[in-house]
Amino acid sequence: MRPLIVIGNWKLNGSLASNESWVKAVCKGMEQGMPAGRMFALCAPFPYLSQCEQLIKECSLAFLSLGAQDVSAHNSGAFTGEVSAAMLKELGCKYVIVGHSERRQMHQETDELVSAKALQALDAGLTPIICVGESADERNSGRETEVVCGQIARQVSVLQDRLADCLIAYEPIWAIGTGKVASAQVAQDMHKAIRLQLAEFNEDVASHVGILYGGSVKPDNAVELFAMPDIDGGLIGGASLNPQDFLAICQA
Ligand code: 13P
């Protein structure tokens, strides 16, 4: 059985004061009881990782952990501005997002770079959350499965069996921050296509890997999405900024 995993991606948001009240509110809500067997995390901006790690430690809930939003494809050296996987591990991270569509689009990240980042994360003992997803144009021209399965195939070719230690996030670009959530069936169909694609490589990997959905997940659509057989949780952007909305999604 794959656990349900809900991860908040704060993106470029937060402050020392708002982070503190967020973590305290979420811990308080979670202490009142969460459905068993679920895991939760927040992916904070780099400068706040230490602060969030400390706050999470104080509430000591085994099922709440920390993640980062990106990682370098290099482990050390002359790479100004980069942050290595070992540094994230040292700061208490369990997860790191790689290949988010915002980085693919705004920083020209390729599948090759994304798999190099995932390998760095795996080598440091982090779980990479590998994002894939099609644009509106690609879906409107009927190429969504080809595009997403192509992204998956390029990860398989590099990561091979190590994909079993990754999470995949299907985030259709047209659903991110737009309020246009993929219907539960549309999301399920793509998650199933991803799992079938992985099964062609290795059935064990396919049945183990968690596939999260991301894109306008809100408290009122999370129940239906998470009920789908191939949807193993969510990667939550906007709604993760509000602790009460995040809690409601975690409980969905
Ligand atoms: P929204 O939930 O704001 O649509 O963002 C999704 C996302 O990009 C999470 O990584």
Strand runs (DSSP E) across 143-248, as ranges? 167-170, 210-214, 233-236
Mutating to test ligand 1, I would choose from 171, 180, 221, 242 the residue with most ligand atoms within 8 A of its C-beta, which is 171
Token code pair at residue 160: 């091979």
* For residue 77, pLDDT beyond 90: yes
- Residue 100 alpha carbon, nearest atom of ligand 1: 10
Cα(133) to centroid of ligand 1, in Å?
Answer: 12
| Closest residue CA from atom 9 of ligand 1 | 237
Mutating to test ligand 1, I would choose from 13, 129, 217 the residue with most ligand atoms within 8 A of its C-beta, which is 217
Domains of the chain (ranges, CATH numbers): 4-251 (3.20.20.70)
Query: pLDDT at position 216, please?
Result: 96
Query: CB atoms < 10 A from the CB of 82, how many?
Result: 15
Query: pLDDT at position 60, please?
Result: 85
Mutating to test ligand 1, I would choose from 103, 235, 240, 246 the residue with most ligand atoms within 8 A of its C-beta, which is 235
Q: How confident is the model at residue 184 (pLDDT cuts 50, 70, 90)?
A: very high
Tell me how far apart the alpha carbons of residues 121 and 227 are, in angstroms, rounded to a whole number: 30
Cα(245) to centroid of ligand 1, in Å?
Answer: 14
Q: How confident is the model at residue 217 (pLDDT cuts 50, 70, 90)?
A: very high
Tell me how far apart the alpha carbons of residues 203 and 197 are, in angstroms, rounded to a whole number: 10
CB 182 within 8 A of CB 138: no
Cα(172) to centroid of ligand 1, in Å?
Answer: 10
Query: CB atoms < 10 A from the CB of 190, how many?
Result: 25
Among residues 190, 208, 187, the alpha carbon closest in space to that of 199 is found at: 208
| Closest residue CA from atom 2 of ligand 1 | 237
156 vs 179, which has greater pLDDT? 156
HEC profile of the chain: CCCCEEEEECCCCCCHHHHHHHHHHHHHHHHCCCCCCCEEEEECCHHHHHHHHHHHHHHCCCCEEEEECCCCCCCCCCCCCCCCHHHHHHCCEEEEEECCHHHHHHCCCCHHHHHHHHHHHHHCCCEEEEEECCCHHHHHCCCHHHHHHHHHHHHHHHHHHHHHHCEEEECCHHHCCCCCCCCHHHHHHHHHHHHHHHHHHCHHHHHHCEEEEECCCCHHHHHHHHCCCCCCEEEECHHHHCHHHHHHHHHC
Annotated active-site residue in 53, 100, 102, 191: 100
Query: pLDDT at position 1, please?
Result: 79
Pairing of the two strands 64-68 and 93-98: parallel
Question: What would the pLDDT profile of 101-133 be if each residue is shown by its tens digit?
Answer: 999 999 999 999 999 999 999 999 999 999 999
Ligand 1 binding site (Cβ under 6 Å of any ligand atom): 9, 100, 171, 176-177, 214-217, 235-239
% residues pLDDT > 70 (the chain): 100
Q: How confident is the model at residue 33 (pLDDT cuts 50, 70, 90)?
A: confident
Pairing of the two strands 127-132 and 93-98: parallel
Query: pLDDT at position 116, please?
Result: 98
CB 168 within 8 A of CB 210: yes
